[in-house]
A and B are shown apart, each in its own frame.
Chain A
Amino acid sequence: MQLLAANHADDSQPSSDSNRRTSLDGYLLFDLSPLPQLVLSPSCCITRASSHFLAEWHLAREDCIGQELIPFVEKQLRPQNSFSVCYLTAAIDDAITSRTERTSQSIVTQHATAWKARILPIFQEHELLAIVVEWLEAPATLLEHDEIVRPGLSTDEAFRILVQAVKDYAIFLLDTKGRIATWNTGAELLKGYRRDEIIGKHFSIFYGQDDLEIRKPDLELDICLREGRVEDEGWRYKKDGTRFWANVIITAVYKDGVHVGFGKVTRDLSERKTAESRLISAYEESEKIKSDFLANMSHEIRTPMHGMLSACSLLLDTPLTDKQKDIVHIMDESGQVLLQVINDILDYSKLASGSFFITSDIVGISSIITSVVRSVQTTLLPSVHFELFLAPDLPKSVQGDPLRYRQVLHNIVNNAAKFTDKGSIRVRALLQGEDEDSFFVMTEITDTGIGISEPAAATLFTPFTQFDITTTKRYKGTGLGLSIAKALAELMGGTIGYRPNPDRHGSIFWFTARFKKIKSLEQIQDWKRGPNGRTESLSPHPIISSPDLQAELAKAAATKTLLLVEDNVINQKVMLGMLRSLGFRNVALASNGAEAVQVVKGKPAAYDLVLMDINMPILDGNEAAVKIRESGIHIPIVAMTAYALKGDKERCLEHGMDDYIPKPVDKKWLIKTLSKWLLRARDYRKSLVDSRMSRLALPEPGQGLNLLGRTDQVTQTDSPDVEVKPVAQYPAANGYGSELSLSDDQQEQVALGHIHQEELAQSSGQESQPEPAAPAVPAAPAVPAAPAVPAATAVPMDVVVVEQSEVVVGTGQEGQTTPSGSPGQVPQP
């Protein structure tokens, strides 16, 4: 290292100072000072050494005088510490530059003494006359191997130099009040203030109006004092008023335990911030373009596709030759496949972009499974049959997304059907586990189809791969189905997987899904709370989809007794057939209005609902309804009329009917209407009891009398063929493999069980609805071959009305228990 001192003056001989040596006082003061001292020439040669120096350093005066300081000191150091002479050089340089006193780091001599050199440059005007070096003994630490630890590199000076030189960071100190005390180059560059114009100003000058309003600068200092450090990112302002995005770190500075101020480091993040926002906007832009494109594309492709497919089906309705028919079928089928491809791609892109959401609804797992099986079985080859296993502990009603569950299941079952030429497809559903909130349902589909080779199994769930190129030609599809199923299963909190069928060739696909438990009665009622009054519209129930509704109705149907009033025998048969397919076993017949009135009046509490044709001989529907109402029976009466005009409904209602169904009766409409009156509405017999109660209670309100009231309890004998089959296996009937050998209602019986009643009864504690006490659910025989029920032998009425059972009710008002199924409903007049 070059000593700066060398530039300052010519080499002056020690003798040139001889005139000053005559000053005896000065010499003695120097020589006898308790501090070891040296005097150096401007070129750092030793000109004087004090007595104490010679004594402490164990040297003679001749050894020192005239020597250059640095080489001289180097020789005196412990060999391992020779590098530490640079501390001395740095201190001297710094002292001369700053024309003030500097103290070096300690250096250790051969005698194991650590010294710090205090450098005092002596200037006259701008001329360096001499350098005084005072040696301060520093405490030295001895290590195990007699080694001396050198204290750390840091010195105030070094830091000052470093900090001063930093250009990219504004680093400065604040006093305890937040006023700026120091200023570095970086601060000047970043903030635009020069040192002399900013020192002493409060640091809040850098903050914007918003931050000042919330007193952010003060808050930051408060937090800093409490935590020792605070970091912030935000806008800061330069002298010219422009702002930049800054990262700020403030540190509290303590000296000897006393708070003396804050250190503040500010970094300009503007560039990073801009880059980030550029990236984000680019990403958003591309996402938007992508989804716009997809939405557009789907619309643009699907619209003409639908047109083409409709045209195809119209063409199929015209007389065609066999050859033409084949060609149109190919067109139709290819169109369907193409449409499926488009829908798959849309689903997949929605899933990939995360914009696919799972909705929450009531899920009837069993009914979904049976419905999927039913829809796929039409596509089966005759040599293939379905086997269905539903575990007995499978929850009947859970909360989840019924559509997505169906989609996954349908995909897998459909695949199984596609790739199975003979044998069976087994669908098995079981409860894998449950916790406080959820059920984990495992659904497994086993087929005896062509199976999947081991290498192909690895890419099963990868988008756009079908498991074999050779089969791709044989089996149409996008290869997206399973990856969609996988994503959906994962969205439902489950997984999906494949393994080979261990019994014989074929595949086993399984997937799990998490469903929430339906916890409270309110929750069920929230879903169920549907139409219950006369003014309600006939709009479909908003939540429960039709198959679920049908299943729910089928479950209730077994215990309901209907009266069908219809004069035309053809219509009687169709209605009976339709009601039977919905699960109704007890349907009485009347062929005109007069008969209907007679039947109803004969057993005023036997029937749950009357289906009434309007235009009939002897007594028409309207008149019959009026007569029934006149006798005080409030049974729901649903009109069936071919007049589907506006005003027809009103006319029916005027005659005391509750609802109407247009003719020819549409099954879906029938399901909706029957559900509304049989499942959602309050039982009219209860209203009857309630109104009797209140009539009894009114005259003596508040009296602690036990009032005897009557209630109607309808019990129903179970059909003789009742049989509960919690786990059922249904092999196909011989020679007709494509037919699932389950009747519709039988499947629904198995699927639905009796969960609703149980849940309701448990939750409410009381259940006085006319439900059978035993949880047995009737299931039809395994191979139903029942022909149409002839009108003459219409189902016998197995209903016994028990009127003698008496209910003890407490005091007037509080004795009224609201039946759980119909909260807050006003008794019908």
Chain B
Amino acid sequence: MSHTYDRDGEDSFNMAYFGDHVHLATFNQILEMDEDGEHDFSEPLVFNFFEQADETFENMDVALAAEDLDELSKLGHFLKGSSATLGFTKIKDSCQVIQQYGHKQTVEGTAEPDKAVCLGKIKEAINTLKTDKIDLEKTIKKFFGIEDK
């Protein structure tokens, strides 16, 4: 079957710009829940996620200042769940790092007893998280055809 690529092509063109930010199969699954060719479902959902991410970042900053590893781990896990559901791979990976070091473990699961090391890794991950989120938000907005002001 040969496809015309008027609409599909449009999506896949933009999708290309997601790069390794997004797991396409998972994100497509979300897009498939849209009806009428409008992104009625996916668009608010994704922006809800960005709001959730911003809230979580604030909580993370607080917990990082308090050096509360346990809370950081929970926050990491929390955002990991929703980012994984939407297929936002990079964000999910950073959350995983935060969750693991919050448990005083490396990503591979071996123990990392040095709290300072853990906090350092988490700080690093939160920074990556924030920049990745900004990048992602830009491309996502472009994808949904929303002007980035």
Contacts and interface: CB of A to CB of B under 8 A. Distances in A.
Interface string A774-789: 0000000001111110
Given A667-B29, A738-B7, A642 B81 contact: yes
Contacts of A739: 36-37
Interface in B87-131: 87
Chain A contact-residue range equals 35 or more
Interface string B40-62: 11001100110010000000000
Nearest to B80: A642
A570 B45 contact: yes
Contacts of A414: 1
A613 B82 CA distance: 12
B36 A736 contact: yes
A736 B36 CA distance: 8
A788 B41 contact: yes
A729 to B, nearest CB: 18
Contacts of A379: 1-4
Interface centre among A316, A336, A379, A580 (most CB of B within 10 A): A379
Nearest to B38: A785
A710 to B, nearest CB: 41
Interface string B9-43: 10011011101000000100110110111001100
Contacts of B3: 333, 336, 378-379
A523 interface: no
B86 interface: yes
Given A319-B17, A736-B37, A787-B40, A337 B2 contact: yes
Interface residues of B, number: 40
Contacts of A615: 77, 81
Interface string A552-572: 000000000000000111110
A757 interface: no
Interface string A607-638: 00000010101000000000000000000000
B84 interface: yes
B147 interface: no
A476 interface: yes
Contacts of A247: none
Nearest to A329: B5
Contact of A569 (B16, B26, B48): B48
B36 A333 contact: no
Contact of B81 (A329, A580, A663): A663
Nearest to B52: A570
A574 B8 CA distance: 22
Interface in A775-821: 783-788
B12 A663 contact: no
Given A570-B85, A784-B35, A666 B78 contact: no
Interface centre among A336, A570, A736, A786 (most CB of B within 10 A): A570
Contacts of B78: 567-568
A562 B19 CA distance: 37
Nearest to A566: B81
Interface in A668-709: none
Given A318-B16, A615-B77, A785-B40, A570 B35 contact: no
A45 B112 CA distance: 141
Contact of B85 (A336, A378, A571): A571
A622 to B, nearest CB: 15
Interface string A309-330: 0000000111110000100010
B59 to A, nearest CB: 13
Given A336-B1, A569-B48, A788-B40, A743 B35 contact: yes
Interface centre among A316, A476, A743, A783 (most CB of B within 10 A): A316
B81 A574 contact: no
Contacts of B36: 733, 736, 739, 783-785
Nearest to B78: A568
Interface centre among A379, A664, A743 (most CB of B within 10 A): A664
A47 to B, nearest CB: 107
Contact of B2 (A333, A381, A410, A580): A333
B18 to A, nearest CB: 9
A325 B40 contact: no
Contacts of A785: 35-36, 40
A517 interface: no
A678 B78 CA distance: 29
A753 B27 CA distance: 31
B89 to A, nearest CB: 10
Interface centre among B5, B8, B9 (most CB of A within 10 A): B5
Contact of B41 (A336, A577, A783): A577
A788 B2 contact: no
A571 B49 CA distance: 9
B87 to A, nearest CB: 7
A179 interface: no
Given A317-B15, A574-B86, A666 B29 contact: yes
Contacts of B32: 581, 667
Given A642-B80, A642-B84, A664-B26, A570 B7 contact: no
Given A316-B16, A379-B3, A788 B45 contact: yes
Interface string A721-745: 0000000000001001011000100
A573 interface: yes
A316 B12 contact: yes
Nearest to A379: B4
Nearest to B18: A317
B107 to A, nearest CB: 14
A515 B80 CA distance: 50
Given A333-B3, A379-B4, A788-B40, A571 B35 contact: no
A663 B33 CA distance: 17
A663 B96 CA distance: 14
A620 to B, nearest CB: 11
Contacts of A570: 45, 48-49, 52, 81-82, 85-86
Interface in A570-588: 570-571, 573-574, 577-578, 580-581
Contact of B45 (A573, A665, A733): A573
A340 interface: yes
Contacts of A568: 52, 78, 81-82, 85
Contacts of B35: 743, 784-786
A536 to B, nearest CB: 25
A783 B38 CA distance: 13
Nearest to A577: B33
Contacts of B33: 574, 577-578, 580-581
Nearest to A786: B35
Nearest to B79: A568
Given A568-B78, A736-B36, A664 B2 contact: no
Nearest to B15: A317
B48 A663 contact: no
B29 A329 contact: no
Interface in A289-341: 316-320, 325, 329, 333, 336-337, 340
Nearest to A382: B6
A445 to B, nearest CB: 16
A340 B45 contact: no
22 contacts: A316-B12, A333-B2, A340-B1, A378-B7, A379-B4, A567-B78, A570-B52, A570-B85, A571-B85, A574-B30, A574-B85, A577-B30, A577-B45, A580-B33, A581-B33, A663-B84, A664-B86, A736-B36, A784-B35, A785-B36, A785-B40, A787-B44
Given A664-B86, A788-B45, 17 more contacts: A333-B3, A336-B3, A378-B7, A410-B1, A414-B1, A567-B78, A568-B81, A577-B30, A581-B33, A642-B80, A663-B81, A663-B84, A665-B85, A783-B36, A784-B35, A785-B40, A787-B40
Interface of A: 316-320, 325, 329, 333, 336-337, 340, 378-379, 381, 410, 414, 476, 567-571, 573-574, 577-578, 580-581, 613, 615, 617, 642, 663-667, 733, 736, 738-739, 743, 783-788
9 closest Cβ pairs, A-B complex: A570-B82, A577-B33, A664-B85, A664-B84, A788-B41, A317-B16, A568-B81, A568-B82, A571-B85
